[in-house]
Amino acid sequence: MKVVSLILARGGSKGIPQKNIYPVNGIPLINYTIKASLGSNTQETYVSTDCIEIKNKAIKAGAKVIDRPFSLSTDLSKSDDSLIHFANIIDFDILVFIQPTSPLISFLDINKGIKMINESCDSVFSAHEEHWIPRWTKSGQPFNWSPKNRPMRQEVEEFYVENGAFYITKRKNLIKSKLRYSGRIKPCLIPFNRGFQIDTLEDVKIISKLLK
């Protein structure tokens, strides 16, 4: 079984300019996920990008690169379409789709997901368990609970929260469904802190300290 990883890293970013190569503790952000992939049981690590600067840094970090068409690199482009583009170019059996904004993930997390695919399912997504907490809508209304009958945390079933760090799926499922996960889907539980995403400069400050 050929297992490859893919990191989607377009050049455009509104929150943080050139976010995918923004320096985090002096290291381009994308380098962290490339390193995790290279240390895992994947046989090849690819970066799909429309940006020459990202391309050069990814190659320097040890990844292979495919050029992503402009039509798949806009603000409205869907990641799943870029996965299909990749599958039409590169041969593989299992795809590990890693988000470059998740610098805390470990090769151990990736290996755990790959093992799940080989043993019991067609697709997995990284997640963590979450206990019930009271949520409110922006309009100030309780969301799916009542202050008059507030449950105790242990009375409410725990659930899984998809953190977006990575997704793993079989090629045949990806081609058929055109989705990052399909068929028999299971969560791959990873430590809460390793699923943190960088979307803002405040995130950079917090995650920089966790990476030290």
The length of the chain, given as a count of residues: 212
Backbone angles phi, psi at 17, to 5 degrees: -55, 135
Global pTM reads 0.91
Is 150 part of the annotated catalytic residue set?
Answer: yes
Q: Say if domain 3-210 classifies as CATH 3.40.50.300.
A: no
Structure tokens at 48: 């799909």
Return d(Cα 178, Cα 114) in angstroms, integer: 20
Structural domain spans, the chain: 3-210
Which strand (E) or helix (H) includes residue 46? strand 44-49
Catalytic hit among 150, 153, 184, 194: 150
Q: Where are the alpha helices (DSSP H) in 74-139?
A: 79-87, 107-119
Each of the 212 residues of the chain gets a pLDDT tens digit; together they read 999 999 999 887 777 889 999 999 999 999 999 999 999 999 999 999 999 999 999 999 999 999 998 888 888 789 999 999 999 999 999 999 999 999 999 999 999 999 999 888 999 999 999 888 899 999 999 998 899 888 887 888 889 999 999 999 999 999 999 999 999 999 999 999 999 999 999 999 999 999 97
